[in-house]
Amino acid sequence: MLRRLRRRYIAIKVECEQPPPKNTIIDSIWKSLLQLFGEYGASQTDLKFIEYNPKERFMILRCSHDALNLVKTSISMITKIDDSKAALHIVYVSGTLKTLLKRITPLKG
């Protein structure tokens, strides 16, 4: 029997002096995941980049429903990106991208 993949979409606000490139943020999230949960834990997340807007400093990621808490914990533990102080705030989590975009649109402006 095939198991339905359940995913969660996470909207993140990036607080940093200079808007870092998306790859740098993603690398920081992976590094945090690996440090906290190891390779096996990180592999269970099915983490995928969806969108990043450096002007508004919003990022959207997708992860596995079962690993949502691992990803949220890893994101909240990040304090530096490229040797500069940073904080990643989880703004909203949704089961669909459409709902997530609808909810965060008023926050972006």
Q: Mean pLDDT across the chain, nearest whole number?
A: 91
pLDDT digits (tens, 9 = 90+) for 80-90: 998 889 999 99
pLDDT digits (tens, 9 = 90+) for 36-62: 999 999 999 999 999 999 888 999 999
How many Å separate Cα 57 from the centre of its chain?
12
| pTM, entire model | 0.89
User: Does a structural domain hold residue 108?
Assistant: no
Whole-angstrom CA distances from 73 to 28, 37, 91 are: 13, 10, 14
Complete DSSP assignment for 6-30: -EEEEEEEEEESS---HHHHHHHHH
User: Does a structural domain hold residue 65?
Assistant: yes
Domain containing residue 12: CATH number:
3.30.70.3250
Domain membership of residue 34 as a residue range: 7-95
User: Does a structural domain hold residue 103?
Assistant: no
User: Does a structural domain hold residue 100?
Assistant: no
- pLDDT confidence band for 109 (50 / 70 / 90): low
| Total domains in the fold of the chain | 1
Asked if pLDDT for residue 107 goes beyond 90, the answer is no
pLDDT at 3: 64
